[in-house]
Chains A and B, each alone.
Chain A
Amino acid sequence: MAGLELLSDEGFRLDGRRPSELRKIRLRLGVFDQADGSAYIEQGNTKALATVYGPHEVLGGKGKPLHDKVIINCQYSMATFSTNERKNRPQGDRKSTEMSLHLQRTFEATIQTHLYPRSQIDIFVQILQADGGNYCACVNAATLAIINAGIPMKDYVCACSSGYVNNTPLTDVSYLEESQGGPVVTVAMLPKSEQIALFKMDNRLHVDHLEQVLEVASKGCKDMYAVMNAAVKEHVSRMAKSMECS
């Protein structure tokens, strides 16, 4: 392994985490009033914001209304100041387009699309600061925003990434770990049914290790689910309380 030792002899990672430990998660639902649903999530130093508009009538020339299901329109964008090198285009480059498409596919698989024929749901995610696991943060934030908007889903979608270093699988890899060139597996999962909505892998990984890495990633998704579910419950009970008061 070139340069950095990703895993110390004592079994700790660069930022002091254990291999199976997630980064510190902070999340909030309903951060903005303008949108129908919004959520903010911090996973370590990765900060993402998601807003959902809709379901509303189909606008713009691009999409045609579908008679049997809702159109899901996702846009992923990264703030120009979110990375170490300044990004010239916040969206529209190949990477963001790919990311938007991935998000769209993920949510088409989980939102109950048949409930809103001839309409459209817009999901906008914005990365404010990038430190690895951007896709995961986006999926988690968007899930919370959709729940906040009250759009029915089959289940939560939780995403988590995992890497593989020195025969040890790592959960929730940071930018530093991502950029060392090791394999990174990203999984978006419906935690209750354990169905995988999206699976993505960068670099090569021996097929013998795949099961192990996938295991770790799905464990990460379930942990993520526990945190998100707790936040949603807390948010809802707070809302209920404020409604009682008024």
Chain B
Amino acid sequence: MAAEFKTAQPVEYYKQFLKEEVRPDGRELGEIRSTILNVGSISTAHGSALVKLGNTTVVCGIKGEFASPTVEEPKKGYLVPNVDLPPLCSAQFKPGPPSIQAQVTSQLVADTLLSSNLLNYEDLCIKEGNMVWVLYCDMMCLDYDGNIIDACLIALLAALRNVRLPVVTIDEDTGLAELSSTEDRSLNIVNQFAATTFSVFDDSILLVDPTVEEEDLATGLMTVIVTQDGRLCNIHKPGGTPLSTDQIQDCIGRAQTRAKEICSLIDDTLDSIER
């Protein structure tokens, strides 16, 4: 009976639950699904991480390659993020060129990387003006159950912290690069960040960490990206229900708490691996 009611009148179905201050999956309105993190599971990548945010699963693999730097910034390497939502992860995505959702998410991740001062890009320099590391960060969604942005950013950050790049020496005579097979180094992550996504239901109720059903029913979405030290990195609100200043302030507060949780989750996971 419940299933028929849900299919026929999803909004009413949700309202019945939200009246009791609970969501159909048993969470409270401000509760985030359990987050599971696993790093370094893909040995062909230089760094990798798998994140499960409830059912949403994202795997991020990072591969480093040599590239020549830009003329303006001869000492800086760069990151190339890409979010892939293959048809495998949900029935809503069809085979073919990347969906709009994937492109928009990629752009948001790229913007966030640019504005966050995540790492010192000069660390990625191999030889000034000649050769730098370019890190391709591919985030792939394996199971799509809403809130892809949060999951992607956790996966990206954890994978970046997991990166081990081989030490490169340049042969003076031939000018060729040689990779050391024994020595490697990790990246120096300066500034970590984390995203928290909110969805607005029925123009009034704020839900944290929406599932795919909640996203579909939402009248508005907002993602707040906060750095570890509490600075705002992005308030991304692509239209939808207007929100008042108080509501936004409330969201920022919650995002700051969440960012601390995520950073310590990543720390703990990496520690447990190294031990």
**CB contact list, A34-88 vs B, under 8 A:** 34-35, 45, 47, 49, 51, 53, 56, 59-60, 73, 75, 77, 79-84, 86
Q: A73-B95, A81-B138 are in contact. List 19 more A-B contacts (CB 8 A).
A: A34-B55, A34-B91, A34-B143, A34-B145, A35-B143, A45-B43, A49-B142, A51-B89, A59-B94, A77-B86, A81-B45, A83-B44, A84-B44, A86-B63, A90-B86, A122-B87, A125-B88, A126-B140, A126-B142
* Interchain CB contact under 8 A, B142 and A82: no
* Interchain CB contact under 8 A, A129 and B88: no
Per the bound structure, the CA–CA distance linking A51 and B86 in Å amounts to: 11
Set A31, A53, A60, A124: member contacting B86, Cβ < 8 A: A124
Is B214 in the interface zone, CB < 8 Å from A?
no
Is A199 in the interface zone, CB < 8 Å from B?
no
Q: Classify chain A: how many residues form its interface, as a range.
A: 20 to 34
* Interchain CB contact under 8 A, B142 and A32: yes
List 6 A-B pairs, Cβ < 8 Å. Answer: A32-B55, A45-B43, A59-B94, A80-B61, A80-B82, A128-B42
Contact with A along B86-119 (1 / 0, CB 8 A): 1111110011000000000000000000000000
Is B123 in the interface zone, CB < 8 Å from A?
no
Per the bound structure, the CA–CA distance linking A216 and B191 in Å amounts to: 54
Is A130 in the interface zone, CB < 8 Å from B?
yes
Interface set of B (CB-CB < 8 Å, partner A): 42-45, 48, 55, 57, 59, 61-63, 65, 82, 84, 86-91, 94-95, 136, 138, 140, 142-145, 212
Contact with B along A122-143 (1 / 0, CB 8 A): 1011101111000000000000
* Interchain CB contact under 8 A, B144 and A34: yes
Is A10 in the interface zone, CB < 8 Å from B?
no
Is A33 in the interface zone, CB < 8 Å from B?
yes
**CB contact list, A108-158 vs B, under 8 A:** 122, 124-126, 128-131
Chain B neighbourhood of A34, CB < 8 A: 55, 89-91, 143-145, 212
* Interchain CB contact under 8 A, A75 and B87: yes
Interface set of A (CB-CB < 8 Å, partner B): 31-35, 45, 47, 49, 51, 53, 56, 59-60, 73, 75, 77, 79-84, 86, 90, 122, 124-126, 128-131
Cβ distance B205 to chain A, nearest Cβ, rounded Å: 24
**Given A34-B89, A53-B91, A84-B44, residue A90 in contact with residue B65 (CB < 8 A):** no
* Interchain CB contact under 8 A, B55 and A86: no
Cβ distance A49 to chain B, nearest Cβ, rounded Å: 6
Cβ distance B5 to chain A, nearest Cβ, rounded Å: 20
Chain B neighbourhood of A31, CB < 8 A: 143
Chain B neighbourhood of A122, CB < 8 A: 87
Chain B neighbourhood of A73, CB < 8 A: 95
Cβ distance B158 to chain A, nearest Cβ, rounded Å: 14
Chain A neighbourhood of B136, CB < 8 A: 80-81, 86
Per the bound structure, the CA–CA distance linking A83 and B61 in Å amounts to: 11
CB-nearest residue of chain A to B94 = A60
Cβ distance A45 to chain B, nearest Cβ, rounded Å: 7
Per the bound structure, the CA–CA distance linking A75 and B93 in Å amounts to: 13
CB-nearest residue of chain B to A36 = B91
Cβ distance B142 to chain A, nearest Cβ, rounded Å: 6
